[in-house]
Chain A
Amino acid sequence: MLTSLKRIIRTGSVGFVRSAYVSFSAIYVMVITLLVIGGSLIFGALLDHTLVTLKSKVDVNIYFTVDAEDEAILAFRKQVESLSDVKVVTYLSRDEALAQFKERHAGDELTIRALEELGENPLGASISITAHDPAQYEGIVQFINETSESAEATIIDRINFNQNKSAIDRLTNIVTIIDKITKIIVMTLVFVTVLITFNTIRLAIYTARDEVSVMRLVGASNTFIRGPFVVQGALYGVIAGVITLILLYPIAYYLGPSTDAFFGLNIFRYYLADFGRIFAIVMGSGASLGIVSSAVAISRYLRI
């Protein structure tokens, strides 16, 4: 058994080296397939990151009236925090709001002077609510509205959720659609390149069909005939995988700053940080594509 395995691996490796041109073609085609797979992984990560960023941008800001009592605001805050859908509640006092306003308009003399002329702080306190899931905002806002309506004197000036919501919803929809379209395009590309790879390997084995018939005639078992071709297929896949990973490095390095600026994710850093997963997927796809293509292609010539 061990001798057979050793012979199969040796024969496959020798065949790989001796039919160098065929090996080169098969590896070349497989590199393209694996680049598509690797590229789709990275692009998928970019889109996911964009979606997460967009979703995190959604929050609800509640602005309180200027004369709202601190105790009332804190009690209201506690009530909101106790909701299970709420992730974080950030409180901004009147003074902090004023400081932020002044800082934001530091260069705008007219506004600062107008503020000074008012003599008192016109800004109310506010809280910012982040939910676990953007879908939960609807419920949170409804709860706040109901609470505020039932209260004797309302302390809430306005809620800005509805202003952001439609824009963020629209963006999220666009990204989701792009994600879906990309997935379809990538799947089609992967399917086409897998077919091309399969046919290249089939062609490589077709050139060896006479040899297969000779092997059968000298009494070689199907496993013994199939083995070296499968080893060859695995070698194509592994080598193509290594080449793909090497090629992805400079590509990610070159595109990293641009994707950082545009999507907020540097794909070079992502490539390095997630290398284990990318390595496993690219190498695994390469090896299994090579093995399966060879095994399927050779089985045609093993029928008697």
Chain B
Amino acid sequence: MLRHMIYFENVSKYYGKNETIALDSVSFQIAPKEFVSIVGHSGAGKTTLLKMLIAEDKPSEGSIFYESQDIHKISRSQLPSFRRKIGTIFQDFKLLSGKTAFENVAFAMEANSRTDDEIAMSVPQALELVDLAEKMHHFPSELSGGEKQRVAIARALVNQPDIIIADEPTGNLDPIATYEVVQILKKINDLGTTVILTTHNKGVIDILEKRVITMDGGRIIRDDKNGKYLL
């Protein structure tokens, strides 16, 4: 039996006084090197689920484990080092606007206390991987949507994390840029990194042919090993 890396155990999340349910008793596991897509309509609970995984939000009930560690019992001082094991990619890129592409990627390494020599070597490599070596000194405002997302991928990758979490990474991209981003994520997974992707783009899911978890109303309604987008 495959040893799992991430465990969600009966995780529920309620918001506000009238107890809006964002997640309802969600349980699943993710193995190392897996590529898992989480699909569902807006409000299905996909983003809430990812926020729990990076400890940006706490569950109302249940637990989430990374290997044997309960994520929400990690002390505040240890949280940064936990987050360095996870690379995150967002729909709105979340790049630091005052920093160039190089500096954005380098920042993730600086935060990880890497040396200047390592940064000088790894950042161009990461930008090369996403085909942006020539624009490494451009600011985000000088890049297209697809290019920004590729910088974000390079930033997520550069510390060689155990997991890459991509929350609707193609939501703001045209079909060509979407295709490029999906191919890069596939490549990252082929190199041995666990990838968790949320999307509601049917085309993306269908070309991946990987495990698909389908959510609706805060619950998991389907978990297929070689899934299709069925909603």
Contact = CB atoms under 8 A, between A and B. Distances in A.
Physical interaction between A and B: yes
Interface of A: 3-4, 7, 14-15, 18-19, 210-211, 213-222, 224, 304
Contacts of B155: 218
Given A3-B113, A215-B107, A215-B111, A221 B97 contact: no
Interface stretch (B15-23, B32-40, B41-49, B77-85): B77-85
Interface stretch (B88-96, B181-189, B221-229): B88-96
A178 B110 CA distance: 56
Contact of A217 (B94, B110, B116): B94
Nearest to A225: B111
A174 B110 CA distance: 62
Contacts of B83: 216-219
A215 B108 CA distance: 8
Nearest to B82: A219
Interface string B117-150: 0000000000000000000000000000000000
B111 A224 contact: yes
A220 B98 contact: no
Given A218-B83, A221-B80, A15 B98 contact: yes
Given A219-B111, A220-B111, A221-B111, A214 B56 contact: no
Contacts of B81: 219
Given A211-B98, A216-B83, A218-B108, A3 B115 contact: yes
25 contacts: A3-B113, A7-B110, A15-B98, A210-B94, A211-B96, A213-B94, A214-B95, A214-B96, A215-B107, A216-B80, A216-B83, A217-B54, A217-B83, A217-B88, A219-B80, A219-B81, A219-B84, A219-B112, A219-B159, A220-B107, A221-B80, A222-B80, A224-B80, A224-B110, A304-B55
Contacts of A19: 98
A216 B76 CA distance: 11
Interface string B53-64: 011100000000
A58 to B, nearest CB: 64
A211 B97 CA distance: 8
Given A213-B94, A218-B111, A220-B111, 17 more contacts: A19-B98, A211-B97, A214-B96, A215-B107, A215-B111, A216-B83, A217-B56, A217-B94, A218-B83, A218-B107, A219-B111, A220-B110, A221-B77, A221-B80, A222-B80, A224-B111, A304-B76
Contacts of B108: 218-219
A12 B171 CA distance: 33
A216 to B, nearest CB: 7
5 closest Cβ pairs, A-B complex: A219-B84, A220-B111, A219-B83, A218-B108, A221-B80
Interface residues of B, number: 27
Nearest to A211: B96
A3 B94 CA distance: 26
A4 B113 contact: yes
A171 B210 CA distance: 92
A268 to B, nearest CB: 43
Contacts of A216: 80, 83
Of A4, A14, A15, A216, chain B has the most CB atoms within 10 Å of the CB of: A216
Nearest to B110: A7
Nearest to B96: A211
Contacts of B107: 215, 218, 220
A253 B54 CA distance: 61
A215 B103 CA distance: 12
Contacts of B79: 304
A216 B88 CA distance: 11
A214 B155 CA distance: 11
Contacts of B77: 221
A215 B94 CA distance: 10
Contacts of B111: 215, 218-221, 224
A74 B80 CA distance: 86
Nearest to B92: A210
Among A7, A15, A217, A220, find the residue whose CB has the most chain B CB atoms closer than 10 A.
Answer: A217
Contacts of A214: 94-96
A95 B171 CA distance: 107
A304 B56 contact: yes
A224 B112 CA distance: 10
A3 B119 CA distance: 12
Contacts of B56: 217, 304
